[in-house]
Amino acid sequence: MNDTLNTLLNHVSVREYLDRKVDDETLNLILKAACSGSTMGNMQLFSIIVTQDEAMKQKLAPFHFNQPMATKAPLILTFCADFRRFNRYCEFRDAETEAYSNLQSYQWAVTDALIAAQNACVAAESLGLGFCWLGTITYNVDKFIEVLNLPKHVIPVACIPIGYPVAKPALTQKLPMEALIHRETYQDYDKARIDALYADKENSSETKGILAENPDCENLAQVFTKHRYTKADNEHFAEVLLEALKKQGFLR
C-alpha cells in the first residue's frame, strides 16, 4: 500500500472546517494538481473559479441553500466545463467557431472539469485538508452562471469547499464493492441481488437513525424519493440545466 492509495482509500467528506486559511503555497499545489490531469486532445476544456472573498461567498451562499460548508470554508473551488477559451482561440485564428456548440462537446468539457476537480480533491486530502462536493452547483446552475459571470460555453459542474477539518469523520458505509463491478458485460440486478447488496446498509445504525427521523418512510429508498431528492425537485432542476445548456450554447 503506497501513500497515494492510502489517501484514496481513506477518503471521507469533511463538512466542518477550522477557522484557518489555506495558504497560497498549498492552494497553488492543489491547483497545479487539478491542471495536471488527462484532458481531451490536450484542449484543457475547463476553468477553475477560486472563491476566497467573503462578499463573494455571501453572494453564492443562497444558491448553495446556505449550507454551512459554502459559507464557512476558507476556500471554494468551482470547476467549470469550458469551451469558451478554446473557441476564442479558434475565433482569433480564423478557424471554425461553431464546431463545439453541441452536447458532445459539453460532455468532453464536463469530463475535463471533473478530472481536474477530483485531482484537486486528492491533492487537498493528501495535504491534510478536507472537502465535500456540493450538489447544489448543478441545481442552481443559472444563478451561478450569473454571479460568477460565466460567458457562453462555460457551465459550472463541480463545487468543492476546502478547509482544515474540525475532526476527521469515520469512513462512510458503502455497498460491497461487487455491487459496482461487472465482468465483461453488465449483470443486471434482480430482487434477490438488491436485497443482498443493500442488506448491510439497511441494517446499519446510520440507516436506523435516518429512519427514526423520517417516520413516514418504511425504508431508505423512500427517504430518498420522498424527501432528499424528489421527482418534482429533480425535474425542476433538470429543466434549469437544460435551459442553461441552451443559453450557454451547447444545445440548439
Output the smallest distance, CB 117 to a second copy, in A.
8
The answer to the question of residue 186 lying near a second copy (CB under 8 A) is yes
From the list 15-23, 61-69, 141-149, 162-170, the region that binds a second copy by CB under 8 A is 141-149
The answer to the question of residue 127 lying near a second copy (CB under 8 A) is yes
Among 22, 70, 75, 115, binds a second copy (CB under 8 A): 115
The answer to the question of residue 50 lying near a second copy (CB under 8 A) is yes
Among 17, 22, 48, 70, binds a second copy (CB under 8 A): 48
Would you say 64 and 134 are in contact if contact means Cβ atoms under 8 Å apart? yes
The answer to the question of residue 46 lying near a second copy (CB under 8 A) is yes
The answer to the question of residue 95 lying near a second copy (CB under 8 A) is yes
From the list 16-24, 65-73, 162-170, 177-185, the region that binds a second copy by CB under 8 A is 177-185
From CA 71, how far away is CA 19, in angstroms rounded?
12
Output the smallest distance, CB 66 to a second copy, in A.
18
From CA 209, how far away is CA 190, in angstroms rounded?
27
- What are the cell numbers at 156? 459550472
Dihedral sign of CA atoms 38, 39, 42, 45 in order:
negative
Radius of gyration of the chain, Cα coordinates, nearest whole angstrom: 20
The answer to the question of residue 47 lying near a second copy (CB under 8 A) is yes
What residues have CB less than 8 Å from 76, skipping those under 6 apart?
Answer: 50, 51, 52, 57, 60, 70, 159, 160, 161, 162
